[in-house]
Structure formats: C-alpha cells, structure tokens
Structure 1
C-alpha cells in the first residue's frame, strides 16, 4: 500500500507503519459484517494520521488493496459495494 500512486500522497507517502495498521482492522470489520462505508465513517477506520490524510476516492482504493492483500475472501463484496456506490 505504501507504493500506491494515489493523488492524496502526491507530496509524500505516509510511512508503512502508519498504513499497515488499517488492513487487519478492515478485515476484522468485514468479518463482523460491516460495510466499507461504515468502516470509513462510523467505524473510525478512515486512513488518516496526525500529519497525513487520504482523499475519499483514494481511501476506497486503499481499502480494496488492503482487502486483496490481507483478506481476499472479502474482495468480491468490497468491489460490489464500491461499484454500487459509484466509487469503483
């Protein structure tokens, strides 16, 4: 994820340690039956740090990349949700 070419990180990519905490949490949330929208909203799992941020379209892309790498069993559901919302 730290090699992603995302607009949010055009001026600098967050450290891998800042990003690596999110995919396991996203996978746990998906295992618990939550949606991507919930994770990036009420779930408090939006990829943002003290000195870096992620634009919403890029956050969706990060979630998808994290799911593909950490819990691919959820990939189809995540893609379906993002397609239905127009985010993918």
Structure 2
C-alpha cells in the first residue's frame, strides 16, 4: 500500500462535514451535506488525483440511514478523514 494512510476495508470517520462541491449527482449543492462530521464510513478504493498526482484521494462509502446501509462512494482527501471516533458531549 505505498504511502497511503488508509487501506481498502478500513473503518474511517468524517473528520469534518463532507460537502458536495458540485461533483456528486443527486445532492443539492446549496444544501450540499454528504456526510456530517463523525459519520462512519469504509474505504473502498484509493488512488491519486489526476490533476495533482501527489494528492491522495480515498473513495469512501458512508453509512446513511438507521439500518447502517452504505451510501454511494464519495471522493475524500486524507485530511477529511480520521480513525478517531468522536466522543459525544
């Protein structure tokens, strides 16, 4: 796994709100929330950005809904992900 932070199948959490930048169909850009901070997801693929091959990109399927079903794949940057589960306050 070269120098990637996460591997396929690993559990991650959204480190911040993951917002639609206009590239994800079916989600209104104005509302734009794909996954709120702390939402659990799974890495399904990783690679490098075509425009900047030094930038890692992870495809993550976040849970959406009460049954824990995984949503559509979302491209995330490493800094948007964490393996630290948020502690409720």
Question: Bigger radius of gyration, 1 or 2?
Answer: 2
TM-score of the aligned structures, taking structure 2 as reference length: 0.28
More helix by share: 1
TM-score of the aligned structures, taking structure 1 as reference length: 0.29
